[in-house]
Amino acid sequence: MDCQAAVRAGPSQLLTIRWNHRPEPFGYVLLGQGQVVPVRTEARAVVEACDGSATFAQLAARFGQSGLDLLGELWELGMLAVTSG
């Protein structure tokens, strides 16, 4: 996985989950574009933080490398929208 894909958009970009998400006992299911992507409970806080109020840099500082890895995966799947901060 290319974790740097998320960073290429710029550290000042605000992140928002583009797909609908539904809480599940194990975490979340992200729904959209004919795909269903399960996200574990441990990653729930990262998904919830992608509400358009935090940048890549802020989320990386808050959640560390594992959070950045998840953001990279979500970015590669087209699940994040970005706006200028």
- Which pLDDT score, from 0 to 100, does residue 33 have? 75
Domain count, the chain: 1
From CA 45, how far away is CA 1, in angstroms rounded? 21
Q: Which domain holds residue 41?
A: 4-84
The structure tokens listed for 56 are: 């890549």
Here the CATH number for the domain that contains residue 46 is 3.90.930.60
User: CB of 62 within 8 A of CB of 54?
Assistant: yes
- Note the pLDDT tens digit of each residue in 18-37: 778 888 888 888 887 778 88
pTM, to two decimals: 0.73
From CA 11, how far away is CA 84, in angstroms rounded? 10
User: CB of 6 within 8 A of CB of 56?
Assistant: yes
